[in-house]
Chain A
């Protein structure tokens, strides 16, 4: 199985400051169709996960533009340009290129 490794696992951030989460895969994530199926999810406390980013850098509808995704190959990053209080929660990367689909361990974002 492809192992997804996130860092850091805990991220205290000051309101209005940027935040960055790294995700590394144990195998390359480019599929035979040329797409890279790397997604990011947000799980606020007590809620279901919500997809933020798909195929590395595409924001889902309704996702604020302070969220951005980047990367290629085996290294990917989720950035929040200015953290707001509603961004508190756990963030997961997920690879959808190889079966079984696998998630990172999660990064807990909290306000300092």
Chain B
């Protein structure tokens, strides 16, 4: 059974850093595109970043240079290092399998809340 379990969210001051983790089971992370998608409180969904192949990466403009996506193949875990956090980064962050076409977000984690506030 495919499962994705996020952790690492919390309350952080503007300018601070957090690292989110997404532990996968039931499949091999390195064999798929893997994405982070966020949802601000009461708002819609926004694709943030993807990792694929031999660690190719892509970021949306608003997080480029501040966020870093990575994975640990030995732990079958996806990460999102978030630096220089801003209030507008406040959201539930989901990891999802896919981001390269097919499958595209066929499995999602339960999400982890990141709140950026002083």
Chain A 92-112: CB-based contact to B (< 8 A → 1; otherwise 0):
101010011111111000000
B74-108 contacts to A, CB under 8 A, are 94, 99, 101-106, 108
* A: number of interface residues (CB 8 Å): 24
Q: B105 to chain A: which residues have CB within 8 Å?
A: 39, 41, 49, 51, 94
Within the complex, the shortest CB–CB distance from B26 to chain A, in Å, comes to 14
Looking at A92, A94, A100, which has the most chain B CB atoms within 10 Å of its CB?
A: A100
- Chain A residues contacting B102 (CB-CB under 8 Å) are 35, 37, 54-55
For B58, list chain A residues within 8 Å (CB). Answer: 99-100
Residue of B nearest to A61 (CB): B106
Q: Is the CB of A48 within 8 A of B104?
A: no
Q: Is the CB of B47 within 8 A of A48?
A: no
| Residues of chain B with a CB closer than 8 A to A102's CB | 47
One digit per residue, 1 when the CB lies within 8 angstroms of any chain B CB and 0 when it does not, for chain A 70-96 equals 000000000000000000000010101
Contact B46 A51, beta carbon cutoff 8 Å: no
* Given A48-B109, A54-B103, A103 contacting B46 (CB threshold 8 A): yes
Q: How far is the CB of A86 from chain B (nearest CB, A)?
A: 18
Name A37's contact: one of B104, B106, B110 (CB within 8 Å): B104
Q: Which residue of B lies closest to A102 (CB)?
A: B47
Contact A100 B101 (CB under 8 A): no
User: Which of A33, A48, A60 is in CB contact (< 8 Å) with B108?
Assistant: A48
Closest to A31 in B: B101
Instruction: Name the 3 nearest CB pairs between A and B, nearest first.
Output: A96-B104, A103-B45, A48-B108
Interface residues, chain B, with chain A CB atoms under 8 Å away: 44-47, 58, 60, 94, 99, 101-106, 108-111
Interface residues of A (CB under 8 A from B): 31, 33, 35, 37, 39, 41, 48-51, 54-55, 60, 92, 94, 96, 99-106
9 A-B contacts (beta carbon < 8 Å): A37-B102, A37-B104, A48-B108, A49-B105, A51-B105, A54-B104, A60-B106, A96-B104, A103-B46
